[in-house]
Chain A
Amino acid sequence: MDSQFRRGILDACVLAVLEKGESYGYQLVKDISQFITITESTLYPILKRLEQTAMLEVFSQEHNGRLRKYYRITPAGRDRITELLNEWEEIVKVYQFIVTERGESHEQSGISFGTESGA
């Protein structure tokens, strides 16, 4: 999968998980990796970028005697999910167009082969 495309999808996945409720790094990796491969090293820059663009907020909370960072989605993050879903609808339309065009071109080449073999 193209890296830029993948990056966009992962942004949406992180925001979608956070839309359900606050979460922390490891939990995000576990939740998202059920659907798409993601590692801690991939997640870190995504979290940083989403934090810098104010799509999520970070806060620390005590857990088992240590501080753990939690992430919370912001209204801007929710808007971004809507945008990504709208973009996705366009991608699906393009996908369907490509599949249809491809199907037609294969059908046409099939006919021409049939004619040649018949002749």
Chain B
Amino acid sequence: MNRAEFLSALRAELERQYISGADNMTEYYDEMICDRMEEGMSEEEAVASLGSIEDIVNEALIDRPMTTIVRDRVKKSKDNAEKKGHGALWITLAILGFPVWFPLMLSAAIVAFVLFLVFWILVGTVFIVIGSLALSAVACLAAAITFPFGWISIPSLLVALGGALALGSIVLLLWRPMISFSKAAGRFFADIVRSIKRKFV
């Protein structure tokens, strides 16, 4: 297969699988072929070294957002049915099956959304706790500053200063672990989504 044939076949497969960004991807592979040819490979050797179009497309499929995968799957199934002359049957089954597939899909979407929400509320709560501790530290400090005006007594000043120091220390101590935790949580969530996507692709 030469360069033009490879790029045209790749584009056709990307379009067949409803993968967006076909222009960017063919540009990328064209550049790879040119770079290899500059190193002395023949056009055919350069194309062969890139691997199969199927593998390339599979990698691209995994990287799409979940909603795009589901939408494309539905569109692909409808198009396939239309090509085989079963377009009307597909639509009829989609309408008749609506009371079954719609509640199921809706429930799945709601469960996924609630899990997503719970997950990020948990992360958000951690930051709210840290924020409230920081705010309390500032409040204690503000109270201590009022001492020269005679608004608070010496024992209150000591309590305010102690409180500000203790709360400030807790915030400083927890800040970095909390940042790491939220980043790790984000990556964990992304990994879960990627695992689910693999089931579809």
Task: Kindly provide the distance from the CB of A94 to the nearest chain B CB, expressed in whole angstroms.
Answer: 14
Knowing A4-B194, A40-B50, the reply to whether A26 touches B59 (Cβ < 8 A) is no
Q: Determine chain A's interface SS by DSSP, over half rule.
A: helix
Knowing A4-B191, A26-B36, A49-B63, the reply to whether A41 touches B55 (Cβ < 8 A) is yes
Q: Determine chain B's interface SS by DSSP, over half rule.
A: helix
Q: Which of B31, B62, B180, B191 contacts A26 (CB 8 A)?
A: B31
Knowing A42-B59, A44-B59, A45-B59, the reply to whether A69 touches B36 (Cβ < 8 A) is no
Report yes or no: A39 in contact with B51, Cβ–Cβ below 8 A.
Answer: yes
Report yes or no: B191 in contact with A44, Cβ–Cβ below 8 A.
Answer: no
B35 partner residues in chain A, CB cutoff 8 A? 24-27, 68
Question: Does A101 have its Cβ within 8 Å of any Cβ on chain B?
Answer: no
B36 partner residues in chain A, CB cutoff 8 A? 26
The answer for the CA separation of A4 and B195 in the assembled complex, in Å, is 9
A48 partner residues in chain B, CB cutoff 8 A? 63
B59 partner residues in chain A, CB cutoff 8 A? 41-42, 44-45
Within 8 A of B (CB), among A12-64: 24-27, 29, 39-42, 44-45, 48-49, 64
Within 8 A of A (CB), among B181-201: 183, 191, 194-195
Question: Does B141 have its Cβ within 8 Å of any Cβ on chain A?
Answer: no
Q: Which of A4, A39, A45, A66 contacts B63 (CB 8 A)?
A: A45
Name the interface size band of chain B.
Answer: 20 to 34
Give the number of chain A interface residues (Cβ < 8 Å): 20
A40 partner residues in chain B, CB cutoff 8 A? 28-29, 32, 50-51, 56
Task: Kindly provide the distance from the CB of A6 to the nearest chain B CB, expressed in whole angstroms.
Answer: 12
Question: Does A83 have its Cβ within 8 Å of any Cβ on chain B?
Answer: yes
Within 8 A of A (CB), among B18-77: 25, 27-29, 31-32, 34-36, 38, 50-51, 55-56, 58-60, 62-63
Report yes or no: A25 in contact with B28, Cβ–Cβ below 8 A.
Answer: yes
The answer for the CA separation of A102 and B63 in the assembled complex, in Å, is 38
Task: Kindly provide the distance from the CB of A58 to the nearest chain B CB, expressed in whole angstroms.
Answer: 10
The answer for the CA separation of A24 and B59 in the assembled complex, in Å, is 20
Q: Give me 20 A-to-B residue pairs in the complex whose CB atoms sit less than 8 angstroms apart, sorted by A's number.
A: A4-B191, A4-B194, A24-B31, A26-B31, A27-B35, A39-B51, A39-B55, A40-B50, A40-B51, A41-B56, A41-B58, A41-B59, A41-B60, A42-B59, A48-B63, A49-B63, A64-B38, A66-B34, A68-B35, A69-B31
B residues whose Cβ falls under 8 Å from a Cβ of A: 25, 27-29, 31-32, 34-36, 38, 50-51, 55-56, 58-60, 62-63, 180, 183, 191, 194-195
